[in-house]
Amino acid sequence: MQITPTSLQHIAALIDAPFIGNANHIITGFNEIHRVSLGDVVFVDHPKYYDKALQSAATTIIINKEVECPSGKALIIHPEPFTAFNTLTRHFSPRQYSSQAISNTAKIGKNTIIMPGCFIGNEVTIGDNCVLHPNVVVYDHCQIGNNVTIHANTSIGSDAFYFKKRASSFEPLYTCGNVVIHDDVVIGSNCSIDKGVSSQTSIGKWSILDNHVHVGHDVEIGERCLFAAQVGIAGACKIGNNVTIWGQVGISSGITIEDNATLLAQSGLGENVKNGQTYFGSPAGPAKEKMRELFAAKQLPDLIKKLY
């Protein structure tokens, strides 16, 4: 999330927190660790991740312990960095709820068909020659390219599934990103595409999603991908071009799947997949190895009979 350049002193005052660094140190945005760039604020609340945050591209870190500040950066000391980050993102990106089926600020291209029951939020952009079937929901600030088809009851831009466990409840991380769907994408019915926490979730050109596919926050999907029904992709995954994922595959958060890879049906993926590999199983591994393991397991009853 980008903001008008603002001083460290001003940002720290908004959350009533002390800071380390030049009071006039400039802040230009807020992002999660996997999306930070120069000028961004990031938060960290566990010693395990201190070094990652401090050495990241972010130039301001909200942290719950006073540590040595890297050169050229600034620290904001707060007992609850998660909550502090929420306070700041809510301040700079407050929700603006629309009471109309199609917001006055939405921009819809030529020859685009919006069928009955659809909701189009504030500042949404939809390109030319698109078709949105009945009851499609497009949340605020989402962007849809040209020649995109979205089938009935699909939701584009819902909040991230991202929570901090507290003593008696769960605190949600405030979601202020969006979804970007590029040209010539087809999305089936009853899909849900979560927006990025502070950046974007994106789906590349010519990709096709079957019915009942869920794409988590900050996922990046490349071009010409094909996902069958009931695929679930957790947050912050990065999927390359020409990737095929068959039905009922589940993918853990933060996974990278390189170009031309294939995940066979009902696989549970918890590790990165290299270019051109085919994976299968739960936990998923190279398909040939997993098939051999299954074949070997089928021989066990006969082997046991022979032994005993």
Q: Residue 150 has which token pair?
A: 């979205």
Q: Which amino acid is at 265?
A: A
The pLDDT score that the predictor gives to residue 304 is 73
Q: What percent of the chain is predicted at pLDDT more than 70?
A: 100
Mean pLDDT of 290-306: 80
| CATH code 3.40.1390.10 region(s) in the chain | 2-92
Instruction: For residue 76, report the phi and psi dihedrals to the nearest 5 degrees.
Output: -115, 120
Domain formed by 2-92, architecture: 3-Layer(aba) Sandwich (3.40)
Question: How far is CA 117 from each of CA 97, 134, 137, 144, rounded to the nearest angstrom?
Answer: 17, 5, 9, 18
217 is catalytic: yes
CA distance 220 to 225: 11
- Are 260 and 273 in contact by the 8 Å Cβ rule? The answer is no
Q: Is 142 left (phi over 0), alpha (psi -120 to 50) or beta?
A: beta
Is residue 296 very low, low, confident or very high in pLDDT (cuts 50, 70, 90)?
Answer: confident
Mean pLDDT of 137-159: 98
Of 53, 47, 82, which is closest to residue 65 (Cα–Cα)? 47
CATH 2.160.10.10 fits 107-288, yes or no: yes
- Are 244 and 226 in contact by the 8 Å Cβ rule? The answer is yes
> What rounded mean pLDDT belongs to the chain?
95
Active-site hit among 25, 141, 151, 217: 217
| CATH code 2.160.10.10 region(s) in the chain | 107-288
Q: What percent of the chain is predicted at pLDDT more than 90?
A: 92
Q: DSSP string covering 107-147, please?
A: EE-TT-EE-TT-EE-TT-EE-TT-EE-TT-EE-TT-EE-SS
Q: Which amino acid is at 188?
A: G
CA distance 24 to 162: 32
- pLDDT tens profile 20-62: 999 999 999 999 998 999 999 999 999 999 999 999 999 999 9
The pLDDT score that the predictor gives to residue 291 is 87
Mean pLDDT of 250-266: 97
CA distance 273 to 14: 43
- pLDDT tens profile 99-132: 899 999 999 999 999 999 999 999 999 999 999 9
Given a cut of 80, is residue 303 above it in pLDDT? no
For the beta carbon of residue 113, count every other beta carbon within 10 angstroms: 12
Q: Are strands 170-172 and 19-20 parallel, antiparallel or unpaired?
A: unpaired
The pLDDT score that the predictor gives to residue 93 is 95
Q: What is the DSSP letter of 70?
A: P
pTM: 0.92
Is residue 295 very low, low, confident or very high in pLDDT (cuts 50, 70, 90)?
Answer: confident
Given a cut of 80, is residue 156 above it in pLDDT? yes
Q: Is 177 exposed, middle or buried (0-12, 13-18, 19+ CB in 10 A)?
A: buried
The pLDDT score that the predictor gives to residue 123 is 96
- Element at 156 (helix H, strand E): strand 155-158
